Amino acid sequence: MNRRQFLAIGGATLASLAAGPGAAAPSGPLRKPIPSSGERIPAIGMGTWITFNIGSDAQTRAQRADVLRTFFAHGGGMIDSSPMYGSAEAVVGDLLGRLDYPQGLFSATKVWTSSGDDGPGEIEQSRRLWGVERFDLLQVHNLLAWRPHLETLLAMKDSGRLRYVGITTSHGRRHGDLEQVMRDWPIDFVQATYNVVDRDVEQRILPLAAERGIAFIANRPFRRGALIDRVQREPLPAWAADCDCADWAGLLLKFIVSHPAVTCAIPATSRVEHMVENMRAMHGRQPDPALRRRLVEHVRSL
Amino acid sequence: MTDWAGYALADFLMFAPDTYVRQFALLNAALWPLHVVLYLLAGAAAWRLRPAVSQDAAVLWLLVPAWAACAWWFLHQRYAPISLAGDPWTGLFALQALLLAAVAARPALRLVTPRTRLPGMLLIGYALLVHPLLGLPAGRDAAALEWFGLAPDPTALATLGVLLTLRGLPAALLALVPLAWCLFSGLSYLAMAMPLGTLAPLAAIAAAVARYLLGRTAPATGAS
CA distance A67 to A71: 6
**CB-side neighbour CA atoms (13 Å) of A226:** 12
CB A283 within 8 A of CB A29: yes
Phi, psi of B81 (to 5 degrees): -65, -25
Measured N-to-C along each axis, helices B86-104 and B171-191 cross at an angle, to the nearest 10 degrees, of 150
Count of domains forming chain B:
1
Q: Where are the domains of chain A?
A: 39-301
The DSSP H or E segment spanning B17 is helix B17-31
Chain A residues in contact with B29 (beta carbon < 8 A): none
Cβ contact B112:B127 at 8 Å: no
**Interface predicted TM-score (ipTM):** 0.89
B16 to A51: CB separation less than 8 angstroms, yes or no: yes
CB contact under 8 A, A55 and B19: yes
Cβ neighbour number for residue A202 with a 10 Å cutoff:
14
User: Domain for residue B204, yes or no?
Assistant: yes
What residues contact B86, with CB distance under 8 A and at least 6 apart?
B75, B76, B79, B80
**CB B59, CB B166: distance < 8 Å:** yes
Question: pLDDT tens, A3-46?
Answer: 444 444 444 444 444 444 444 456 689 999 999 999 999 999 99
Cα atoms in the Cβ-side hemisphere of radius 13 Å centred on A262 = 29
Q: pLDDT tens string for chain B (224 positions)?
A: 455 666 788 888 999 999 999 999 999 999 999 999 999 998 888 888 876 566 778 889 999 999 999 999 999 999 999 999 999 999 999 999 999 999 998 877 777 777 888 899 999 999 999 999 999 998 999 999 999 999 999 999 999 999 998 888 888 899 999 999 999 999 999 999 999 999 999 999 999 998 888 876 555 444 33
Q: Does the structural domain A39-301 have CATH classification 3.40.109.10?
A: no
CB contact under 8 A, B14 and A54: no
Label residue B106 exposed, middle or buried (CB < 10 Å: 0-12, 13-18, 19+): middle
Query: CB burial class (10 A; 0-12, 13-18, 19+) of residue B179?
Result: buried
The Cα-based distances of B200 to A299, B62, B134, B179, B206 in angstroms read: 38, 21, 11, 9, 10
Residue in B with minimal Cα distance to A60? B19
Provide the shortest C-alpha distance from residue B195 to chain A (in Å).
18
Please tell me the predicted confidence (pLDDT) of residue B33.
95
d(CA B195, CA B67): 25
Distance to chain B for A92, nearest Cα, Å = 14
DSSP B220: S
Q: Is the pLDDT of residue A112 over 50?
A: yes
Residue span of the structural domain in which B210 resides: 15-215
Mutate to test the interface with B, among A49, A51, A54 (most CBs of B within 10 A): A54
Q: Where are the beta strands (DSSP E) in A56-146?
A: 78-80, 106-111, 135-140
- Per-residue pLDDT of A135-181, as tens digits, reads 999 999 999 999 999 999 999 999 999 999 999 999 999 999 999 99
Q: What is the pLDDT of residue A12?
A: 42
- For an interface test with A, give the residue of B14, B78, B83, B84 to mutate (most A CBs within 10 A): B14
Residue B83 confidence (pLDDT)? 97
pLDDT of residue B216: 66
Contact status of A51 with chain B (Cβ, < 8 Å) = yes
Q: How far is B25 from chain A (nearest CA, A)?
A: 10
Q: Do B3 and A173 touch (CB under 8 A)?
A: yes
Closest residue by Cα to residue A173 from B122, B69, B80, B2: B2
A174-210: per-residue pLDDT in tens? 999 999 999 999 999 999 999 999 999 999 999 999 9
Question: Does the distance separating the beta carbons of A53 and B15 come in below 8 Å?
Answer: yes
Chain B 36-95, residues with CB within 8 Å of chain A CB atoms = 78, 81-84
Disruptive mutation site among A52, A53, A84 for chain B (greatest number of B CBs within 10 Å): A53
Contact B99, B159 (CB under 8 A): no
Chain A CB contacts of B6 under 8 Å are 171-173
Q: Which residues of B touch A171 (CB under 8 A)?
A: 6-7, 11
Number of Cβ pairs closer than 8 Å across A and B? 49
- Separation in Å, CA of A242 to nearest CA in chain B: 35
